[in-house]
Amino acid sequence: MRVASTAEQRDLQATLGKLFRDTCATDRGRVDRGTGVAARALSALAGAGMLALPFSAELGGAGALGYETGVLFEQGGRALCPSVVYTTLLAGLVVERCAPAEQARTWLTGVMAGATTATTALWSADDMRTVRPTLSAQHIGDGVRIDGTVRFVENPHDVDFVLVSAAVDGSDQWIVAMIPPDAPGLRHQALNALGRDPLGHVKLDDCRVPSDRVIEGVSADVVHQLGEIAVALQCMEMVGGSARVLDDTVAYTRHREQFGRPIASFQAVQHIVADLRIGLDAARLSAWRAAWRIGRAEPAARAVAIAKLHCSSAYKTTTLQCHQLMGGMGFLRESDLHLWSERAKLTEIRNGSADVALGWLADSLEKSARPRT
C-alpha cells in the first residue's frame, strides 16, 4: 500500500474538493440540507464523471472503487455533503454486485448520470455484520409481495428507490427489491434525528414489486462484503470531516486573541492540537488501508474494524475538543462547528459503534488464529 498520494490522486482530491465547496457550502446548507443541496452536488459530480468512480469499466464506470472513491467520500465529509450522495453510490454497488450484468448496466446508467438516487437497507444500522433480512417475500405472478419493517433507513423518502433485502417464504433464499418510496403498501415513519439528513423506519404491508425490480439469489457473503465497503468508505468520510474541523479551528485560534496574543501561542492549545493531529493521522492511515484493501478485493474485515475504531474516535474527539478550543463561539448555533459534531455522532454509531467494531476485530483475529485444515 502506498502511503503517499500520487500526483493524479492529488489532482482528483483538489477537483472533488472544489466541486463540494461549490455545491455544499454550509451557509446555504444551514437552511437547505434537503434536495436542493443534494441535487446540486449530484449534478456537479455527474458532470465531472465522479459518480462513475466505484463501478466497473464493463458497466460503464471508472473501476476505481478503492482509494479514489474513498477520496470522494473524504472530500464529501469535509464539505458536509448530504448523505444521499453516499447512499446512492452504495445502492449502485449493491446492484453491480447482485444483479445480472444487463440489469445492472441499465440501472447504473441513471446513477452515474446523477438522474437516479437511492438508499440501501440490506444490513442492520446497529451492526453491518447483521445481514439476515427482517422482511419476508412471496412470489406472486410477475413479481413479489413483501411485508415487514426496516429500521433506521437513511433518506427513506427523498430518493427514487429504496433497496431492501427479503427472505423468500422464510427460507435462506434472499432477494433484493428496488422499491419507489411512494409504492402502494410502503409507509414511512420519520424520526427526529440528530443530523440534518432524513432518517426513518420503512414499513411494508402487502407491497407488490414487479420482477424487473427484483434481484434474485442474493447471498449473505455478498451482503457482508457490501457492508464492509460501506463502513470503509464511511471511515474516509469521517477522516474528511475531522480534518475540516481541525483546520477551521486552528485558523480560528490563530486570530482569536486573549491577553494580547493569539490563543494558538498558548502551550495548552498547542498540546491539544498536536494530540488531535496524531489521532487524525492514525485515522487517515487506517481508513486508507481499508479503502485500499476493498479496492483490491482483498479480505478487509480486520482493516475495516481498525479503521472504524480509529475514525470514530478521531471524529468524536476532534469535534468535542474543538468546541472547547473555540470557547463560547464553539457553542453558538451561528458557528458551523455543530453541523460536523452532529454528523460525527451519527457516523460514530451508524453501521456499528466502536464497541461493535471491537467485536468484528475479535472475530477476525479468532478466525486467523484457527489452525488450517
Give the number of other CB atoms < 10 A from CB of residue 62.
17
Are 306 and 167 contained in the same domain? Answer: no
At 35 the pLDDT is: 64
At 7 the pLDDT is: 87
Are 126 and 207 contained in the same domain? Answer: yes
Find out whether 116 and 95 touch, Cβ atoms under 8 Å. Answer: no
The answer to the question of residue 1 being in a domain is no
Domain boundary among 116, 134, 155: 116
Are 169 and 193 contained in the same domain? Answer: yes
Which structural domain range is residue 82 located in?
A: 7-116
Are 327 and 286 contained in the same domain? Answer: yes
At 234 the pLDDT is: 97
Are 300 and 317 contained in the same domain? Answer: yes
Find out whether 16 and 67 touch, Cβ atoms under 8 Å. Answer: no
Number of domains within the chain: 3
Helix 301-325 vs helix 337-349: angle between axes, to the nearest 10 degrees?
150
Domain boundary among 116, 143, 160: 116
Domain boundary among 218, 245, 279: 218
Are 100 and 140 contained in the same domain? Answer: no
Those residues of the chain that have pLDDT short of 70 are 1-4, 26-35, 372-373
The answer to the question of residue 143 being in a domain is yes
The answer to the question of residue 263 being in a domain is yes
Three cell numbers written together for 226: 457490501
At 34 the pLDDT is: 55
Are 164 and 288 contained in the same domain? Answer: no
Are 104 and 128 contained in the same domain? Answer: no
CATH assignment at residue 214 = 2.40.110.10
Sign of CA dihedral 40, 311, 293, 220: negative
Rounded to the nearest 5°, which phi and psi values hold at 188? -110, 140
The answer to the question of residue 2 being in a domain is no
Are 47 and 128 contained in the same domain? Answer: no
Are 149 and 44 contained in the same domain? Answer: no
Q: What is the mean pLDDT of the chain?
A: 92
CATH assignment at residue 348 = 1.20.140.10
**150-171, pLDDT tens digit by residue?**
999 999 988 999 999 999 987 8
The answer to the question of residue 39 being in a domain is yes
At 130 the pLDDT is: 96
CATH assignment at residue 111 = 1.10.540.10
Are 362 and 239 contained in the same domain? Answer: yes
Residues facing 164 on adjacent strands: 121, 177
Are 180 and 284 contained in the same domain? Answer: no
172: helix, coil or strand? coil
